[in-house]
Amino acid sequence: MSDPLRLGIAGLGTVGAGVVKIVRQKANLLATRTGRPVEIVAVSARNRDKDRGVSLSAYEWVDDPVALARRDDIDVLVELMGGSDGPAKAATEAALASGKDVVTANKAMLAHHGQKLATLAEENGAALRFEAAVAGGIPVIKALTEGLAGNEVTRVMGVMNGTCNYILTRMESAGLSYREAFEEADDLGYLEADPELDVGGIDAGHKLALLASIAFGTEVAFSGVDLEGIGKVSIDDIRQAADMGYKIKLLGVARMTGRGLEQRMAPCLVPQTSPLGQLDGGTNMVVIEGDMVGQIVLRGAGAGEGPTASAVMGDVMDIARGLRIPTFGKPASALTKAQPATVATPAPYYLRMRLLDKPGALAKVATALGEAGISINRMRQYDHSSDSAPVLIVTHKTTRDALDRALGAMSRTGVLASDPVALRIEQV
């Protein structure tokens, strides 16, 4: 049996405490599977006195995470503090600069500083691993970086924010308004301190940027993610999408196109019968499409103590076993700077609008679409009692540009009772 792998754990929230529990309770399993003991040497967190449900007395307490990261008696810094900058980044940099490996669950830090940190890791012969940062317990970083490494990835997609999926699922199943479902999620403690991180798509966007980097061999480019939250999705949209055979999901999609790297995180329609359409509640799903493998779907818990700690331990055990691969699957210097795609790949769109009850109203809308070169796949006008009629249109494939021209022309006809809703239908 080789020398022990010595961990320093910075951040003792739910996940950090979970990791401590596993290392204590599963010493035999970890040693047999990796060929060496895995030990905790020292820990760090903001509040020393908090009860975390696990004894920390066997470990040295270090107030300053940067000092923890620099200790000579640790091999791996496990960074579970969170936050894109501040102590998390400082400790990560300190560890990597001193040649220590880092395992982190910090999607925000990597989305903003991934290229810099990966370069620092490689310069110092250190590993930087982040399975827990994307889709919780699902081993998707490993699948993409290793298992599917022989593929050219053609598209990667994911429902990666359980809170948003919970809200959308509850709107549908319980007929709640967005506001009601949001408040229910808040009461259950599902929302981040800044809810915009969840419902604005930022958290899921961070994750998408990390997946896209590995998938396409490009530098992490969170600023290139086209972000749209779920706040504008109404119960009407959910019901009427269902009526056409679709579900609405906050879906991240990344693909490399002739016009650059496309990264979108936005509410989309997906077929009810697809694996993504069947994903209810807080569960996460990532779909990877490769030129050889076709479509691979991975599904599991996206958050929580156990799943996240499972992912952290997977990375720790890889390090214990001596696995050494570049952070984003290629050496940082070999990652290219991707141009953000200026135009999204054409897709069918779902349009919902209310038309004033005037003769020729529908004709004007149809004409606006036709003149923009957009053909209609399906159209439904619903029964109405007020002075405006709900109309639903599913277009054939079109560009977002053409659609925006058509929407502009429609609004100038004076037959719209309100701004139309336009949602992309992602073909999965």
Does residue 24 interact with a second copy by CB under 8 A?
Answer: no
Residues 247/241, Cβ–Cβ less than 8 Å: yes
Per-residue string for binding with a second copy, 135-174, x by CB under 8 A?
--xxx--xx--xxxxxxx----------------------
Nearest to 395 by CA among 418, 422, 371, 416: 422
Which of 56, 67, 90, 297 forms a contact with a second copy (CB under 8 A)? 297
> Shortest Cβ distance from residue 14 to a second copy (Å)?
13
Q: How far is 330 from 313, CA to CA, in rounded Å?
A: 23
Burial of residue 22 (number of CB atoms within 10 Å: 0-12, 13-18, 19+): buried
> Shortest Cβ distance from residue 298 to a second copy (Å)?
6
HSE-up of residue 194 (Cα within 13 Å, Cβ side): 7
Does residue 22 interact with a second copy by CB under 8 A?
Answer: yes
Which of 12, 74, 78, 311 forms a contact with a second copy (CB under 8 A)? 311
Nearer to a second copy, 323 or 343 (CB): 323
Nearer to a second copy, 325 or 417 (CB): 325
Q: How far is 335 from 332, CA to CA, in rounded Å?
A: 5
Q: How far is 161 from 376, CA to CA, in rounded Å?
A: 32
Does residue 334 interact with a second copy by CB under 8 A?
Answer: yes
Which of 8, 205, 267, 307 forms a contact with a second copy (CB under 8 A)? 307
Does residue 298 interact with a second copy by CB under 8 A?
Answer: yes
Q: How far is 32 from 77, CA to CA, in rounded Å?
A: 22
Nearest to 231 by CA among 282, 196, 193, 264: 196
Which of 300, 340, 346, 390 forms a contact with a second copy (CB under 8 A)? 300
Nearer to a second copy, 330 or 352 (CB): 330
Q: How far is 137 from 302, CA to CA, in rounded Å?
A: 6
Footprint of a second copy on 233-292 (CB under 8 A): 273, 275, 278, 290-292
Nearer to a second copy, 188 or 334 (CB): 334
294 annotated as a binding-site residue: no
| Active-site entry in 100, 142, 207, 249 | 207
Footprint of a second copy on 206-225 (CB under 8 A): 217
Which of 115, 163, 310, 345 forms a contact with a second copy (CB under 8 A)? 310
Nearest to 350 by CA among 250, 253, 246, 273: 246
Residues 275/297, Cβ–Cβ less than 8 Å: yes
Is 337 known to be catalytic? no
Nearest to 356 by CA among 422, 412, 418: 418
Q: 234 CB contacts (<8 Å, ≥6 apart)? A: 177, 178, 421
Q: Which residue ranges make up the site for a second copy (CB under 8 A)?
A: 18, 22, 26, 29-30, 32-35, 131, 137-139, 142-143, 146-152, 217, 273, 275, 278, 290-301, 304, 306-307, 309-311, 313-314, 316-318, 321-325, 329-331, 334
Q: Which residue numbers are catalytic?
A: 207
Which residues contribute to the annotated binding site for L-homoserine?
A: 192
Annotated binding site for NADPH: 107
